[in-house]
Amino acid sequence: MKLVLASQSPRRRELLSVIQKDFTVQASCAEENIPDGLTACEAVMYLAKIKAEQVAEQIARQDDLQVVIGADTVVVLDGEIMGKPKDHDDCVRMITALSGREHEVYTGVAIVANGKTESFYEKTTVRFLQLTLEEINWYASLSEPYDKAGAYGIQGYGSLLIEGICGDYFNVMGLPVAALNRRLKKYM
């Protein structure tokens, strides 16, 4: 069976290579609109599912059996999903809101194999340090936060903002490696 990652994320590629070295990448072009009324965990599983199923449909005509993995990550503060910052001011607003507080990071994963989809999610709680305005502006001046949910990357300079986590570190990066590895064993 061939493994296909339905994501352009370099972080997800790096993390999946811990589980399996031999896989291909095919980005999904599915519309990422979250239907009203979904909780954060439902939303990430929904988005992961539509990404994985869209790529699985694209490659269905190939002869080899494929296992397609889709994933989506969101940051949630006070029950609200924080997306990627639109600009510098939005980044400052997000980091300020996270400063000195705990929030949750949810990653949904969908595995499509043999015409069936299995979805799951992982949750990690992250606590930010109490940040000064100078620290917030410094981080917002970097390029790092602008392609990340919640406006920070835990694997880079964003690690300097973090007091601690409870849960899977790799989940915050965008792929819960241990949970995915256990589920993939039945397909490989």
| pLDDT tens over the chain, length 188 residues | 789 999 988 999 999 999 999 999 988 888 888 888 999 999 999 999 999 999 998 887 665 678 999 999 999 999 999 989 999 999 999 999 999 999 999 999 999 998 899 999 999 999 999 999 999 999 999 999 999 999 999 999 999 999 999 999 999 999 999 999 999 998 87
Specify the pTM: 0.92
- Helices first, then strands: H and E counts in the chain: 6, 7
Burial 57-91 (b: 16+ CB within 10 A, else e): eebeeeeeebbbbbbbbbbbbeeebbeebeeeebb
Query: Which is the catalytic residue, given 63, 72, 90, 147?
Result: 72
Q: Is 72 one of the catalytic residues?
A: yes
Nearest to 52 by CA among 106, 109, 2: 109
